[in-house]
Structure 1
Amino acid sequence: MDAREQTERAGAQEGARMTFVKSHGEDPSQATAGGSVKGVGKAAGAAASRVGGKNLEVEVASGDALDVRNFSVQERLSSLFEVNLVAVSDNASIDFDAVVGQPARFTLRAGAHDRSWSGLCNHLEQVRVEPGGLSTYQLTLVPTMWLLTQRKNYRMFQHVSEPDIALKVLKEWGIEPEVRIDGGAYKKRKYRVQYAESDFAFVSRMLEDAGITYAFEQSGDETKLVLSDAPHANVKRGAPLMFLDDASLLRSHGISFVTDVRMGKRVRPGKYTLRDHDYRRPPGYKLVGSASGGQGLEAKLERYQYTPGAFLFGTDQGDATPSADDKGKARTDEKEAASLAQRRLDAKRGSAKVCTFETNAHDLAPGSVVSIAGHPHEALAESRTLLVVESSMSGTHHGEWSHRCKARGTDIPFRPELVTPKPKVNGVESATVVGPSGEEIHTDEFGRVRVHFHWDRESQMDDSSSCWIHVSQSWGGAGYGGVTLPRVGQEVLVDFLSGDPDRPVIVGRVYTNLQKVPYKLPDNKTQSGWRSNSTGGTGGYNEIMFEDAAGRELVNVQAQKDLNKLVKNNETETTGVDRTRTVGHDEAITVGNDQTIAVANNQTITVGKDRAAAIGVQDSTLVGKKHTVTIEQPAEPPPKIPPTGTVMTDQFISQTTGRSTLTMKGPDVSLTAEGSVSISAGANISMSAGANIQITAGSTIQTSAGVTIANAAGVTITTTAGAVVEVKAGQRATVDAAAVEVNGDTVLIAASGVVDIDGEYIDLN
């Protein structure tokens, strides 16, 4: 470029500057750039230095005077700023302990655009001692929030929103940020764990997940932390920044300008889809949250992410599960899921169009909203606003400063990207099952339990120590499967779905010195099984035990109280050798149809008291040889008569009381009694014999009837008496036959009246 072209270009720049001044009313006499953009001559930078004072100042807690020679400042939204200084001091032995970790402030004097960064000094190093007595130091200033990077912790938060979690951690460090968010818009999260990560990483992760940005703003001489969910809506800086193509030709420094402007666009995703799983819903339910915003090619570029638990928020809606919701109700929220997907998409698409520039407006910081005047590109028209997202400043005490910014349009809401990695749990952890005081088994409707993690210093070892955690079972289905609930005090093994500390699941249990094995080991190493423990510390248990020692194999089953068994069809039981069954009290057997009992050898049944049998129709008993029924006699005094009983063999039955006996042997029946034999019938008694009937009595045979006694024989009836045969009748005794014969040594016929003997022929001899 020759001298003429330089003159013409300088004139054009001056004309543009004057037009800018007239349009925006910025008075050059009231504004001082306070330093030149890199490339502007040293003379200009020197002219910008404050007369009679320092333009770079650092204050440290020890009070030592330090003369800053050069500096660099790095700032970015949702990031800690860092100020690196090189300074000299006449103190060759600055007390490091009085400086490092103590408050510090760096101030850049730039007239109306003064900037200061206050925080603490986290690094001080003496790098050189000069012959003249001056020592050179390097020091680094960071915000107080930097201290959060130095503490790593394990802990959990339940039913707290992400911004409230961040505020709680910051408060522990004495940091009270300015909050520019709608607190009511952020629902409580069921469970969030800080797992082996610094407080800073955890807070950053919570804010990123909620779409909240943090930045550092100057408030007087102090630097304050600001939390905002809409930095793109910050108040716009008063006057636009004038665009200058070549700042080296600028004749006056009274105008805030930008130069070396670079703008570009990159391909970004046009769709973001999140998916979650809700164990309360059917497996086929598509629980998704989605947001779209791209055109053309970008509309096809989808970020699909499966994030279990991402849609779980506190609510007062949903089905009632009182035990599961004892600390607060949380359900998947599809509306919140869509908002979450939109925030994630905004974070990705916000970096599609980025503008970088150099400026002499040193008051610009991440979070500033500005506009540019005079740039020919439509995207940088003065009517459009830009959000500064990153700033880098450097310079020397001579005033030769460089300030470069990165900005993006405010048409897309700014959301911090998810740059903080979520920690992963590598492998399983052990934990102790916990519950309310005095409760042995603490569970909810889903068989979940709560645990105390051994790393948790804040746990009270009660039902607030964790969220409800699912327990892996041997088998699980819709109303079927196996259930064994870990009990309070037991040691369990906890795994984490995809290594996510927010998604614990119990996968096993282990024995400890306090939770000992049910069978003494190694003595009973061949035993295995399942033994429960009755509640209330009674010492009782139910058990299924297996003994696998060769020659002593055993299956042992114990029911501490009741045992119910239901077989809905057939049951087959086979015992190879012996079987013994003992019932302590009553036993009832009901057979709906037939029952068959087969005993190959002997059967003994002992009934201690009474026995009753009721047969509805027939009772048949078949004995192969002999059947005996005996009534047991008392042991004392010894019996004098045979026992009462029944004996049955082939062709023989004998029933006896010991003093009377009924015997049936082949065709004969014998009835003997030491006392009387009585036969009584309500109607008839019929006695019939093919040959003889003989009735013999030692004294008297008496036959009586209310009306008639009839004795009939085909030939002869003989009545014989050793002494007298007497026939008496109250009225008449009649003997009627073809012939009547009365023989005897004496025949006596006597009557009180008449004796009438009538016949065709009477022979009295």
Structure 2
Amino acid sequence: MSWNTQARTLEVSCEAFPTYRGEPVFVATRLAGTEKLGRLYDYEVDVSTIEADGLYISELHKLVDVNKLVGKRMTVRIAIGGNGTWQNGLTLDSGVNFGADIREITGVITEASCLGAEAPRRMFYRFRLRPALWLTSLNRENRAFMDKDVVEITREVLKKYPIEVRYRLSGPGGQKSYYPKRDYTRQWFESDWNFLDRLWQEFGVTFFQQGDALVLFDNASWKKHGPAYRTILYLDRGGQRIDEEHVHTLKLSRALTTGQTTVTDYDYMQGESHRTYTVKMHRDASHDNAEEYIQADYAQPLQGAMGVNGQRNDEQYEARLLARVRVDAHRCKSMRIKGEGNLRGLMTGYSFFLEGYPYQPANAEYVVTGTTIEIVNNDTVTQGGGLKRQYTCKTKFTAQDANEVYRTPLKAKKPRAFAETAIVCGYDNSVVTTDPLARLRLWFTWDRKGQRDGQATCWVPLAQPWQGTRRGAIWIPRVDDHVHVGYYNSDPDRPFILASHTTNDNKTPWDLPANEALSGWRSQDIGRKSGSASNSVVTDDTPGRLQVQVTSDHANSRFVAGFNTRIDGNKGRTEARGEGIEVATDAHAVMRANKGTLITTEPRSGATAPALDRGETVQRLAQAAEQHDVLAAAAVQAGAQQSQDRHELGQPLKQQATEIGRTGDDGLGGPSEPHLVLASAADVAATATGSTHLHSGRHTALTSGEHTSVSTGGNLFASARKAIRLFAYQLGIRIIAYAEDINISSLKKNLNLLAKLDITQSANRITIKATEEVMLHGGDSYISLRSGKITVGGGVYEVNAQANNLPPKPMGVNANGLPDVQANDQLFRVLSPTGQPLPGVDYQMIAQSAGHIFRTDELGRSPALNTVEQESAAFQLHWDEFSAARGEVNA
């Protein structure tokens, strides 16, 4: 490009500039400002109005409206005159001033002001020019980004701004071309500029302006200047004058910097490990390797959308990346050059070669990290007065070695987060949405864009009052609960739930202040219905009426200890119900103790004795066992029991009392065996609407100091596999049947009635039957009834009766099957179809008055059936014992 294509050094253009007769009314007079890598440039652009026929100040007031200029895009063009030399190989004028070019600075007019007027025709204005990126500093935003890296966040933030962005990003290094994603990144009530600035600084991204474009880069591949500034000559002010723009003042500086960064962070997904990572860039200068130890943000505890199912980040790599960026930022400040010259085309972010400096190592390639420039244009009119404006250009610059990576100085500070409010949310219609770590999804009350659902935020950990390895206490807030949110180390990227709080909808478990004495917790089932059932653990500190309740609305189950006052749902305390302990439920109740149970009403005031103290109980059991043994000994002596029976029962009772009194090895006075001991300081009463069944695998003993009474509304049954022994030591035994018979039978052996004095039998009739013989003994006399033969023995035989001889009649049975002789009798005989007698056949006899079952004798006969009156009787055989037709005989 020819060096003289632009008439003046500075030109300015803007679509919003007013025109007069087709020409813009403004011409540039001065440009001054500062530009740095990674910073928003700030330029002042002074303009004056043109001189034209008919254009006066009064007319300019109508043409120029600064309100219409603010916010408009403006471009400043700086003519670069080339290096003033001939370029060999080029023909004609193309070789003159090689490198002549136009430098453009395009930005937004952020401020416009009128500097005054030069009567009668000219006015002067000043515009403040900032890059389009500066627009991001005007807002304040509060939002969160999930599962995004620094580049993705940058794109999302900048998409609403009129900014052309060129991404010259090679990645963070370490053979990775992508930046690590963050589970959760928060923009905390800060401008988009402050937010992006601190992110870029954290991950080593910087920027510069290239015309109208924003260039983001993270490496040392610098863009080179055009031919005019590819090489810049150093020439001291005292040297010869040349036409080429050059550096006339230069200072090379070397400074001590931090040379080592160690970072730390805490990842509760790897809670047992505490790892730090160090990156250092050693230099041999003294004190040039100081270490900084900081908290970095490389722990990513799987809080993103995938939660615990997500992929773990490369912690070591990301930690070293953040540490390396900080070391680079420190080290790149250690070697800098600062210079001055008439360098109107020197641009920040571009590299150049320095030549001609007396200190030869300084002649190298540098990248411009910052410039401060002031260019004054020649005036457009001939000055007749004292104000003379001539062209000048003053440029100050800083630069660093182009072979070193540049990092923006670490000046951005992450905001310190404070407690916030949020509402628990979840998926679909779930009442509780959580993950294996009891983390929750939240919707922050400041969030004006996010949906109130399971994607509103990351998985937020819940602070619990106590949490250990499978131990602790946990209360998981439900969907729609309101919570306070805090931040680890005040880092807005690391939220956690502090606690729940009340609102007009989320009220206290019990009405307050009416229930101010109640403390505890109350949960509800996770159904969606209002007024759902609940569980609660409550302490009631009402003076004089202390109580503790553990209750569940399921089956109306409750445990109450203390002064029993009903606690009714939301209403809280209501009527008094008693005092002590109540265990109640509408369902089942089980009390199980593997080492034994003591239920007692023996008093232990003040609970000073061991809980299992049972001295009175053991004493009473020992006395009962002794009473059992003494009476059993009397029964043995009387022949009611055998000595073996006494020991079989007496020893276990004594052993039981001893074991219940013996303490185990726990040092707490507990019994050595898992006994169930029931003791009362007064009486024990047990009742059942249905039946009561007591069972013992070994012995059952009932002992009473006075009487033992058994009363039954039905029958009294006693069955013993071996023997029944009844013994009364002092008084007698009475067995009386009021309405029916008393039957005493010995089915296999003898029936012995023994009395020291008399045996008295009294009845309307006494029947004595023996199959073989009836023997009556009275002193030395006897009567023997044997097989139809009567034998009377004695010294004297006397008979006093009226004589009446009848024919002999054998003994039979009555309708009940008992021996009897009556006037009416009937004999049956059972024969086979061939006429042979059938002995040993069971049959059933059914008469009008009664019935019985018997068996035929060896001749197939039944005993004679004797009845007082004539009756009909049915004779039925049991044919299941042999094969024959069923027969039935009526008499």
Distance 1:412 1:669, change over 3 A: same
Aligned to 1:584: 586
Partner Cα separation in structure 2 for residue 667 and residue 404 of structure 1: 133
Is 1:549 the counterpart of 2:542? The answer is yes
Task: Report the 3-state secondary structure (helix = DSSP H, G, I; strand = E; otherwise coil) of the residue aligned with 2:124.
Answer: strand
Q: Is the 8 A contact 1:189 1:314 kept in 2?
A: no
Distance in 2 (alpha carbons) for counterparts of 1:276 and 1:446 = 19
* Alpha-carbon shift at residue 562 of structure 1 (Å): 8.4
Structure 1 counterpart of 2:763? 697
Alignment check: 8 A CA contact 1:61 1:99 kept: no
| Letter aligned with residue 350 of structure 2 | S
Structure 1 residue 609 and structure 2 residue 674: aligned?
A: no
Given that residues 68 and 86 in structure 1 are in contact (C-alpha distance below 8 angstroms), is that contact kept between their aligned partners in structure 2? yes
Q: Gaps (5+ residues) in structure 2? A: 19-24, 50-56, 82-99, 172-176, 379-390, 565-577, 595-673, 718-725, 809-891
What value does the CA root-mean-square deviation take over the aligned residues? 3.2
* Cα 1:677/1:500, change in 2 over 3 Å: same
Q: How far is 1:311 from its partner?
A: 4.4
Please show how residues 101-116 of structure 1 align to structure 2 within 5 Å: 101-111=71-81, 112-116=100-104
Equivalent residue letter for 1:584: D
Report 1:389-408 matches (<5 A): 389-398=369-378, 399-408=391-400
- Equivalent pair of 1:232/1:369 in contact (CA under 8 Å): no
Distance 1:206 1:78 in 2: 12
Deviation of 1:397 after TM superposition, in Å, equals: 1.3
Greater relative contact order, per chain length (Cα 8 Å cut-off, separation 6+) = 1
User: Which residue number corresponds to residue 13 of structure 1?
Assistant: none
Q: Which residue of 493, 501, 507 corresponds with 1:510? A: 501
- Residue 733 of structure 1, aligned match among 790, 795, 800: 790
Quote the residue 1:413 is aligned against. Answer: 405
> 2: CA distance between counterparts of 1:707 and 1:574?
78
Quote the residue 2:223 is aligned against. 234
Alpha-carbon shift at residue 747 of structure 1 (Å)? 5.5
- The alpha-carbon deviation at position 276 of structure 1 amounts to 1.6
- Any conservation in 1 of the 2:257–2:288 contact (CA below 8 Å)? no
Question: What's 1:306 paired with?
Answer: 295
745 and 560 in structure 1: CA distance in 2 versus 1, 3 angstrom threshold: closer
Change (3 A) 1:591 1:248: closer
Aligned to 1:527: 518
Q: After the TM superposition, which of the residue ranges 170-179 and 148-157 deviates more from structure 2?
A: 170-179
> Contact 2:562–2:579 (CA<8 Å) still a contact in 1?
no
Using the alignment, how far apart are the partners of 1:494 and 1:749 within structure 2? 121
Match of 1:471, SS state, is coil
1:378 to 355, 360, 372: 360
Q: Residue in 2 aligned with 1:656? A: none
Aligned partner letter, 1:667: L
For residues 96-495 of structure 1, what are the structure 2 equivalents within 5 Å?
Answer: 96-111=66-81, 112-182=100-170, 184-218=177-211, 223-235=212-224, 238=227, 240-247=230-237, 249-253=239-243, 255-298=244-287, 300-307=289-296, 309-312=297-300, 324-325=307-308, 328-331=310-313, 333-381=315-363, 384-398=364-378, 399-425=391-417, 427-495=418-486
Measure the CA separation in 2 of the matches of 1:176 and 1:714: 143
Which residue of the partner structure matches residue 559 of structure 1? Answer: 552
2:555–2:586 Cα contact (<8 Å) kept: no
- Match for residue 688 of structure 1? 754
**342-351 or 552-561, which deviates more:** 552-561
Alpha-carbon spacing, 1:332–1:471, altered in 2? closer, same or farther (3 Å): farther
Amino acid at match of 1:147: L
CA distance in 1, matches of 2:343, 2:184: 45
TM-score normalised to structure 2 length: 0.68
CA contact (8 A) 1:92 1:135 kept: no
Question: Could you say if the C-alpha distance between residues 745 and 564 of structure 1 is closer, same or farther in structure 2, counting changes exceeding 3 Å?
Answer: closer
Residues 311 and 31 (structure 1), Cα distance of their counterparts in 2 relative to 1, 3 Å cut:
farther
The percent of aligned pairs where both chains have the same amino acid is 23
CA distances 1:338-374 after superposition (whole Å, capped 9, x unpaired): 2321221111100111011223443221111111122
C-alpha distance in 1, partners of 2:585/2:5? 110
Compute the displacement of 1:554 (Å).
2.6
**Partner amino acid, structure 2, of 1:405:** F
**Change in CA separation of 1:564 and 1:585 when aligned onto 2, cut-off 3 Å:** closer
Structure 1 residue corresponding to 2:799, chosen from 732, 743, 752? 743
- Which secondary structure does the structure 2 equivalent of 1:167 belong to? helix
Partner Cα separation in structure 2 for residue 554 and residue 442 of structure 1: 35
Q: Which residue of 1 aligns with 2:611?
A: none
CA distance in 2, matches of 1:314, 1:555: 42
CA 1:325–1:616 in structure 2 vs 1: closer, same or farther (change >3 Å)?
A: closer
**Alignment partners' CA distance in 2, 1:207 and 1:192:** 13
For 1:225 and 1:217, the matched residues in 2 are separated by 6
Following superposition, the deviation at residue 130 of structure 1 comes to: 3.0
For the Cα contact (< 8 Å) 2:44–2:126, is it kept in 1? yes
What amino acid maps onto 2:691 in structure 1?
A: D
Contact 2:6 2:79 in 1 (8 A): no
1:523, 1:574 → 2: CA distance?
A: 18
- Contact (CA 8 Å) 2:343, 2:394: kept in 1 or not? no
Tell me which moved more, 552-561 or 458-467: 552-561
Larger mean CA deviation between 619-628 and 260-269 belongs to 619-628
Q: CA deviation at 1:135?
A: 1.9
1:675 equivalent to 2:752? Answer no
SS across alignment from 1:481? strand
Q: Is the 8 A contact 2:282 2:289 kept in 1?
A: no
In the alignment, structure 1 segments of 5+ residues that lack a partner are: 1-29, 33-49, 316-320, 566-571, 634-643, 647-661, 720-726, 753-765
